[in-house]
């Protein structure tokens, strides 16, 4: 079963708008990661936030982590058509950093 659950399942916005995706998980974690996947391709690592961090930025990406609520959010600002992809959160299970459990993903569509 998937530890991470994401919402919304699908999101469609206009280019230039901000996109926010949420992820919830069930057990304690060492870190939480976000990955992007273009259709039918491999996953690309976007950002990793550790359990003792609350917020992290990378370019147009902003990730927050609330361990008390077991949730995280990914904000993409000033969206571009190239941001169209599926976004997955992934948490490491208790067996250590080797095993990632992925959320169901959010399919993001940026309309020109």
Partner 1 sequence: DTEVTQTPKHLVMGMTNKKSLKCEQHMGHRAMYWYKQKAKKPPELMFVYSYEKLSINESVPSRFSPECPNSSLLNLHLHALQPEDSALYLCASSLLRKGTQYFGPGTRLTVL
Interface contacts to partner 1, rule CB under 8 A: 2, 30-31, 33, 35, 40-45, 48, 88, 92, 95-105, 107
CB of 16 to partner 1, least distance (A): 27
Q: Residue 13 is encoded by which pair of tokens?
A: 């916005």
Q: Is the dihedral of CA 54, 10, 24, 99 positive or negative?
A: negative
Q: Which is nearer to partner 1, 13 or 47 (CB)?
A: 47
What span, in angstroms and rounded, lies between the C-alpha atoms of 79 and 75?
10
CB of 59 to partner 1, least distance (A): 16
Q: Residue 91 is encoded by which pair of tokens?
A: 């948490």
Q: Which is nearer to partner 1, 10 or 81 (CB)?
A: 10
CB of 4 to partner 1, least distance (A): 8
Q: Which helix (H) or strand (E) holds 86?
A: strand 85-92
């Amino acid at each position: 079963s998937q530890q991470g659950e994401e919402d919304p399942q699908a999101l469609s916005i206009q280019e230039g708008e901000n996109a926010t995706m949420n992820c919830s998980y069930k057990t304690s974690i060492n870190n939480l990661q976000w990955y992007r996947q273009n259709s039918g391709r491999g996953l690309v690592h976007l950002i990793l936030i550790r359990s003792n961090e609350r917020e992290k930025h990378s370019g147009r990406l902003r990730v927050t982590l609330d361990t008390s609520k077991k949730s995280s959010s990914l904000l993409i600002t000033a969206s571009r058509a190239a941001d169209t992809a599926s976004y997955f959160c992934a948490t490491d299970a208790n067996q250590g950093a080797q095993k990632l459990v992925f959320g169901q993903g959010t399919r993001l569509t940026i309309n020109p």
